[in-house]
Each structure stands twice: as C-alpha cells, then as structure tokens.
C-alpha cells in the first residue's frame, strides 16, 4: 500500500472564485508550477493514484472458506467415516466441502476486484502547463496547483476547478447517475451544492464530450470524488445473507444437540446397560453419523445453482450463490431511475404552439407513433405552425438515428437532439434535407443552436435552445393567422404545466433571411425572431414497469427511487409509474442536513430521492437496514458501488453498468430492466421454499435414525441399523429424493405473500413440529417392523434389511408430502415435477441392488429377502403419506382458527 501522505486542502472549491483558488494553491495561471515545486508537492501529497488496498493472500481466502460450523460438522463426518474405513463416503463428503470452498473462493476473488477496477478508470495522461510550457505528462504525476488543459474526448485526470471554459460538456453518469452530458462553466456555485450540481468542477474519471477548458487541479488520488468512493467501499462491511446467517445458527444448534445427545446416551449405556466400551463407542459413532445431514450442503448448493440457472434464463445473472435466496427475503428495492425504471432514451411527448397543444405517441428513437390533438390523430402538414416547427427541429440538428442489424434504432449525437430528430421522422420529414448554408453550434453560455438553411425558394434561420433564452430573441409568435405579438404569460403558464410532468423543455424559433445571405452571426440573432413553440421531452418509463411495481407492492415489497436527476423530473416519473404520491420528494441537499436518527424516519416516509450523491445512497441503505429492512439496491455507476456493496443484495446493470458496479454487486441484470428484478424475486422465493422443503425432508431421516438407535440403547437391545446402513440411507435419500425437491416449480401464491421477516427462523415452529412428528412416525414404524421381523424368527441380517427398506420407504412417500408444505399434496400440480418420479424410480433400483446384489450384501451386511418382506415397508410408507396429509389438514385448520 502506498505511503500515507499529507491530506490535501479541504476546501469548497466549487463555491470559490477562480482567481482566489489560484492564490490559495500558489500557482500561476499562465506558467503553471515550476518543476521544483511539483517535486515538493509530490512528496507532500503523494502520486495521483488510488492506493492499492491490503488484500488477503489467496491461501488465507481459501482457508477462510472452511470457517463455518456446518463445514466443521461435515469434516467431523468425514473423519468418522474414515475411521470406519468407509472411504467412498469419506471422499464424497470431502468433495462436497472442497467444491463449496472453491465456489466461495472464486466468487470472493471476483468481488475484491471491485476496488481495483476503480483504478482502471483513471486517466493515463494529462496535458499540463509547467514552467510556462505545455507538456503531456503521466497523469499520476499531477499535483494540486497544476494547470491542466482539457479537450473533447479527454478522460479527466484529477478533480479540477475550471478557470477557463468554452462550451464544455462532461459525461458524469458513472459518478453522478446523470443521464446526459452536463454543461460546465467557470462560475462558482452554492457552497452546499451536491456533486451533480457543481458545474464549476470537472471530476476525475469522467469524460469530456464537447468543448474545451483550462482548470487547476485541486484534489488528486484518494482525495478525489472517485477516490472517496473507493475508500467508502473499503470501509463498507459486506452483509452476510439471511440464508448463511440461518444455516450458521442452525449448524451451531445442530452440532451442540448432537454432542449433548450422544454424550448423554453414551453415559446412559455405560451406567445402566451392559454394553462394552467398544460397543458404546460404535453406538456413539452411529448416533453422530445418523444425526449429521451429510447431503445438506450439496443439496443446498445444487438448489441454489438451479435457481441461478432459472434466473439466468430470465436475464438475471447471479454472482454469489447464496444471493439467490436473499432476493426472496427482500422487503425494499431501491432503484436508480435512468435506464432501470426508464428507457434511457429521451423522447418528445408534448408540442406547444401558440394555437394548440399536441401529444406524441411512441417511445425511444424508433420513429413510429402519431401526433395527436385531443387524442385524435392529425396530419402535421395541415397545421402550418406545427409543420414549420417540425421542419425547424429537423434541420437545426446535428444528430443521427439509424436502425442496426438487429432492428434496434440507435442514436449518434446528443439525447435531446435525438428526441427532436425522431419526432421529425414521425411527422414524415425523414427525407427533408434542405441545404445548410451556415450554422452556430450550441454553447452552454449562449444556450441555443442556430442554422441558416435554403428551404425551397426561401432562406430561413432556425433556432433551438432553452425556451427562456430563445424567447429573449423573439418579439413575435407564429399563429395560424400569421405573426402576432409574443404572449409571454401564455407561454410561461403552458411551460409550467408541461414541466410539472417532469418534461424538459426546448424552445424553437425562426426568421426569414435575405436570399443572398451566406452566413449568420450571434449579434444578428438577438432580436426580431418569431417564436414557433415549445417541445417537452422526457426519458419515458419502461414497458410493463407499472405492472412490475404494482406486483412488488402486492408482494409486500416497497420500491424507492434514488436518482441523480432533478426533483421535479423524479417526482413526475415516480407518480406516473406508482412510486410515491407525486408530491413528496427529498433532495440530496436536504438529506445532508439530516442526522442518522432523522434519516431512519425519512426512509419510512419518502419513496422518491433526487440529486443524490454516493454518500447519500450509502446512508439511505444503512438507515433502511437499521430499521430492520432487507434492502436491494440497483446501480450502474462507480458512484453506486459503495451502496451496492452495503446492500443486502446489490444489483448492477449489465448493459450500461460499469465494471466497478458489477464487481461490487451480487446480481447483474442482463437487460437493465426493473421487471427482471421482480422475476428474480419470484425465483428467490421459490428457491427459499425449496430449501425449506429440503430441510423438512432430510432432517426427519436423521431424526428417525437417531430415534431408532436411542430407543435400542434405552431398551438395551441390539442395534436395528448399523452405521454403514445409516450412511447408505443418508446418501441415497439425499442424492435422489432430496435432489428432486430442488426442481420444484414456483407455487401459485408465491408473490401474494408478504416477505418473510429477516430474523424469522428458517423452519419456524411448524417446521420443527413437522420434523419431530415425522421423525417419531418413521422411526417408530422402522423400530416396530424390526421387532416384528425378530418376533417372526428372522435372523438379524434379514430384520435389518427390512428395517432399512422401511426407513427408505417412509422417506420415499414422505417426499410427496414435502412437495407442498401446507397444501394437500394430491391434486393440482402433482405431476408437474417429473424429477420427483425419476428420483423415486432411481431409489427403487438402488434399494433392489442394496438388498439383492452379493457385493452390496457383503459391504452393508444385508441379505436377499423374500418378496413378502417388501409388504411391511410398503404399508409403512403409505401410512406415513396419509398420516402426514392428515396432520397437514389438522394443523392448517388450527392455524386458520387462531387467525
């Protein structure tokens, strides 16, 4: 890690006058810093790089994968089976442990790349003025006080305060989430302005898209905004998933219970029964082996992996297996606006002229859709004012839209111009390409663009830009009756109405020019123009987004919109898609003034957050978690990475997301669509249900085996089942029957239920009751049938073979009980999981091999049994199925009465 250097100036650079900054940093605007001074400052502040974080060695990361109680239990099982020289089971158990460890090791390695990815975003070179000369230098050598020159296409090398600027626009979306390039200027802004509003600053890692500028470096390395994000990511502790928390708790409880019960029966046998120490030791091993669900981690991993595969088919890419289940627990989804809730394609929706108001159909850059007046389709050519206005936006435009090979329309140019060009195409002006004689490009200072065009026999000046700026040039407005005096009050009222819908406004004007005119000057444009109207554009909501948000609410999941966009836009979009009430919105500036305690109340009251910074997003996630919420956070930029890492599940965008955001997240949306998150929640809930079903299925097997052994010890009898036979039952039921439950499809009402509480136990009282009930039922029947066979005079090997088959038969029929936890198993959906029937067939074949093949007889001490001896296991299995179905019916009825 780099040596820690002195902290740089902590100033509100954006609010200071440029001349004062030059003085504070003791530099020269024309000559820059002297080389000797640069060396001193490099020594003082360090190189302009983000220090590498201390990383654990690969060996330590690998060893930490084994630091889990359940893994310890599995390793104990492996040691026991090794002591028993049952090497196949030993290697199978160790294989499960190693596979789980490797999966965790690989995924953790990818997650640690998130911090390092930020380093790659920094500029490699910079143009600086030193000793009066312009030099291209390594960006890592920049120091506070360096004078840097920026031009279009440059990646900004440090945090820079602008001192000269000409039409500078910067793409800041990775840092702020702003959907379009932002205008920059040298004028200072308010001291408490958030990053997205600091127009006098150019930040490290962002890109110049237009214009040029000169600025002074104010912060380098870890003191830059992007450096602070990296530090925030290092400070954020990763949240363990609810599943891992519960399994860890369950593993500790199970380990303790196994040790206590085994020790108790060891002492009981030693003090009150005539077993030898060798026999007692073998009984203790049998009891431990019987109590450990060896197949559980493997089945859990497979169930999660199947969930990952299902999600991938629905455009959700899971990076960490346990995160599949986390989605099913989510109580609140915090979503970015641009590109997730909206299309990230600016679209013209409203046209205002002096006579009429029009609506525009269609979304994005696909030039399809009608222009409507009072909800009726109109022909644009029939309205001369509208037609003139549409011609103006067609020619006063430097962008292009084209259809690619996949049939998708793509924009080359700025989003605003793209929206206007698409509107003109919708009106039938695609081939309208009059000669352009001259033009004045858009500049942020002047806030307009103008062109001089030859249209038919006339020469016309067209102007587009900020409505208030364009109106300043006009003294008339164009109407169906010709030119009339400009009615500013009318336009202010109409623009206020459209702006309230969250639409950005663009003004359009024109004027006839002399036919011999060959150029235009800015001075010529300041007066005597005719105002044509205003166009409202917006980044529209995605298709089906309203239904997806409604589905979330019905499932008890709150949806919050956290965006870098302006409050009025955020509020309007929120109201349209069903987030918030269309009135309440809180900005990043307001959040900064709130304490953490106040924030906990705010996150419960507000659903829409505007002009937010990385720190705000992180604080909001923390506040939600402190309120007991399980939080999913979406994001695509570097600015989102700390919040993505802190959230219970971070969701990055696959298309427009940065590598930093992807590496910090647990899930990536392949289509950047909010609706995909809802699909993933459905799958997450299904996975959790299937994991519960697996536990409810596996644990009674262990419970029944343990009860059979404990009853035998208590009665001083011979063991009805041997340790090797116990391992056989555990292995075949886990590999076949339990695995079938991983493929169970989603139940119909999965999205009609509220999210389970994060602290709710994985099984609950009902689950514990079912496990105990079935353990006694299957164990009791197994013990009873063993004694029945003994009473018939059968030898020990025959009685044990029938007892094992009874235990397996009970589990086979109980599988169908577990396919639905509370609902009746027979009826609708009984045949919708073919894997269950395949598993049953495989198990039957395995049991036949277990009972009749000589090598199996030798290994497991079993014997060929008569066909009649299959009847008791079959009847026992049927009894288990119908008794558990009756228990379900009674329990559900009792639960309903309590409600």
Burial class (CB in 10 A: 0-12, 13-18, 19+), 419: buried
With tokens 């957050």, the residue in question is 609
Which CA distances in Å does 56 have to 105, 115, 227, 249? 12, 14, 21, 26
- C-alpha to C-alpha distance for 426 and 421, rounded to whole angstroms: 9
Name residues whose C-beta falls within 8 Å of residue 203's C-beta, 6 or more positions apart in sequence: 156, 159, 160, 170, 172, 175, 195, 224, 225, 226
With tokens 């399809």, the residue in question is 368
CA-CA-CA-CA dihedral for 153, 203, 174, 343, to nearest 10: -80
Quick check: 196 and 613 in contact, CB under 8 A? yes
State phi, psi for 162 to the nearest 5 degrees: -75, 135
Quick check: 806 and 766 in contact, CB under 8 A? no
Both tokens of 873, joined, read 């296991």
Quick check: helix, strand or coil at residue 311? Answer: helix
- C-alpha to C-alpha distance for 331 and 352, rounded to whole angstroms: 43
Which CA distances in Å does 647 have to 23, 180, 628? 43, 27, 12
Q: Is 86 left (phi over 0), alpha (psi -120 to 50) or beta?
A: beta
- Strand 400-403 to strand 409-412: parallel, antiparallel, or no bridges (unpaired)? antiparallel
Quick check: 731 and 294 in contact, CB under 8 A? yes
Both tokens of 377, joined, read 């389709």
| Strand spans (E) along 276-375 | 316-318, 332-335, 347-352, 357-360, 371-373
Question: Distance from first CA to last CA of the chain, Å, rounded?
Answer: 60
Please say whether the dihedral angle defined by the alpha carbons of residues 585, 588, 590 and 591, taken in this order, is positive or negative: positive
Which CA distances in Å does 646 have to 237, 621, 624, 650? 7, 7, 11, 8
- Catalytic position from the list 89, 336, 565, 663: 336
Is position 640 annotated as part of the catalytic site?
no
- C-alpha to C-alpha distance for 811 and 802, rounded to whole angstroms: 14
Query: CA 525, 537, 417 angle in degrees (round to 5)?
Result: 55
- C-alpha to C-alpha distance for 677 and 685, rounded to whole angstroms: 12
Quick check: helix, strand or coil at residue 546? Answer: helix
- C-alpha to C-alpha distance for 207 and 172, rounded to whole angstroms: 7
- Strand 332-335 to strand 347-352: parallel, antiparallel, or no bridges (unpaired)? unpaired
- Which of the residues are catalytic? 336
């Amino acid at each position: 890690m780099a040596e820690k250097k002195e902290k740089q100036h902590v100033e509100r650079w954006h609010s200071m006058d440029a001349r004062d900054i030059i003085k504070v940093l003791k530099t020269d605007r024309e000559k820059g810093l002297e080389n000797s001074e640069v060396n001193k400052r490099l020594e003082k502040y360090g190189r302009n790089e983000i220090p590498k974080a201390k990383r654990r060695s690969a060996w330590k990361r690998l060893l930490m994968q084994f630091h889990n109680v359940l893994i310890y239990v599995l390793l104990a099982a492996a040691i026991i089976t090794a002591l028993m020289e049952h090497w196949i089971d030993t290697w199978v158990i160790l294989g499960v442990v190693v596979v789980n460890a490797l999966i965790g090791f690989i995924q953790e390695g990818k997650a640690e790349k998130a911090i390092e990815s930020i380093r790659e975003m920094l500029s490699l070179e910079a143009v600086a003025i030193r000793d009066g000369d312009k030099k291209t230098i390594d960006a890592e050598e920049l120091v506070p006080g360096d004078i840097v020159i920026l031009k279009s296409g440059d990646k900004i090398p440090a945090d820079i305060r602008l001192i000269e600027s000409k039409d500078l626009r910067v793409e800041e979306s990775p840092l702020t989430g702003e959907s379009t390039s932002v205008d920059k200027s040298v004028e200072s802004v308010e001291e408490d302005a958030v990053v997205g509003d600091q127009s006098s600053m150019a930040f490290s890692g962002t890109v110049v898209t237009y214009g040029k500028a000169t600025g002074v470096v104010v912060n380098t390395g870890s003191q830059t905004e992007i450096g602070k994000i990296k530090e925030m990511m290092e400070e954020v502790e990763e949240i363990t998933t609810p599943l891992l928390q519960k399994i860890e708790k369950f593993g500790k409880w199970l380990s303790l219970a196994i040790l206590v019960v085994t020790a108790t029966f060891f002492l009981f046998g030693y003090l009150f029964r005539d077993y030898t120490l060798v026999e007692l030791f073998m009984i203790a091993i049998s009891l431990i082996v019987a109590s450990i669900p060896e197949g559980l981690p493997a089945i859990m991993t497979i169930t999660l992996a199947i969930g990952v595969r299902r999600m991938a088919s629905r455009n959700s890419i899971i990076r960490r297996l346990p995160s599949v289940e986390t989605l099913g627990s989510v109580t609140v989804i915090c979503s970015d606006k641009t590109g997730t809730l909206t299309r990230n394609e600016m679209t013209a929706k409203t046209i205002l002229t002096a006579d009429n108001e029009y609506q525009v159909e269609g979304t994005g850059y696909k030039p399809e859709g009608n222009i409507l007046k009072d909800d009726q389709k109109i022909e644009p050519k029939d309205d001369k004012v509208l037609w003139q206005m549409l011609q103006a936006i067609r020619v006063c435009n430097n962008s292009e839209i084209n259809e690619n090979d996949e049939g998708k329309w793509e924009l080359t140019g700025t989003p605003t111009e793209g929206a206007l060009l698409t509107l003109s195409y919708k009106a039938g002006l695609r081939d309208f390409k009059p000669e352009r004689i001259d033009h004045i490009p858009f500049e942020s200072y002047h806030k307009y663009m103008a062109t001089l065009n030859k249209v038919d026999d006339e020469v016309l000046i067209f102007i587009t830009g900020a409505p208030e700026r364009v109106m300043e040039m006009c003294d008339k407005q164009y109407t169906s009756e010709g030119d009339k005096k400009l009615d500013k009050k009318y336009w202010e009222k109409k623009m206020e109405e459209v702006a309230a819908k969250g639409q950005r406004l663009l003004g359009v004007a024109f004027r006839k020019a002399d036919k011999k005119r060959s150029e235009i000057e800015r001075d010529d444009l300041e007066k005597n123009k005719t105002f044509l109207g205003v166009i409202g554009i917006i980044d529209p909501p995605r298709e089906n987004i309203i239904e997806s948000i409604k589905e979330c609410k019905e499932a008890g999941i709150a949806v919050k919109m956290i965006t870098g966009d302006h409050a009025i836009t955020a509020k309007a979009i929120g109201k349209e898609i069903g987030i918030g009430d269309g009135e309440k919105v809180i900005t990043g500036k307001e959040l900064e003034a709130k304490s953490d305690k106040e924030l906990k109340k705010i996150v419960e009251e507000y659903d829409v957050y505007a002009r937010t910074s990385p720190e705000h997003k992180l604080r909001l996630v923390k506040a939600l978690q402190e309120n007991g919420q399980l939080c999913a956070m979406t994001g695509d930029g570097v600015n989102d990475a700390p919040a993505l890492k802190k959230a219970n599940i971070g969701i990055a965008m696959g298309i427009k997301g940065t590598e930093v955001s992807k590496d910090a997240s647990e899930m990536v949306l392949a289509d950047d669509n909010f609706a995909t998150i809802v699909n993933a929640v459905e799958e997450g809930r299904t996975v959790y249900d299937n994991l519960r079903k697996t536990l409810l299925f596996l644990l009674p097997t262990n419970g029944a085996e343990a009860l059979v052994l404990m009853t035998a010890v208590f009665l001083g009898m011979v063991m009805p089942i041997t340790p090797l036979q116990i391992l056989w039952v555990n292995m075949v039921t886990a590999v076949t029957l339990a695995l079938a439950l991983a493929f169970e499809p989603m139940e119909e009402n999965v999205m009609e239920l509220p999210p389970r509480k994060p602290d709710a136990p994985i099984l609950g009282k009902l689950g514990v009751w079912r496990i105990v009930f079935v353990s006694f039922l299957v164990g009791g029947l197994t013990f009873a049938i063993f004694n029945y066979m003994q009473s018939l005079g059968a030898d020990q090997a025959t009685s044990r073979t029938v007892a094992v088959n009874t235990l397996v038969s009970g589990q086979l029929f109980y599988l169908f009980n577990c396919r639905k936890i509370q609902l009746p198993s027979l009826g609708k959906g009984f045949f919708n999981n073919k894997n269950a029937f395949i598993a049953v067939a495989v198990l039957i074949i395995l049991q036949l091999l277990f009972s009749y093949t000589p090598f199996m007889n030798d290994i497991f001490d079993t014997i060929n049994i008569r066909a009649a001896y299959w009847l008791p296991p079959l009847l026992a299995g049927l009894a288990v199925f119908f008794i558990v179905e009756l228990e379900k019916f009674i329990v559900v009825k009792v639960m309903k009465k309590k409600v």
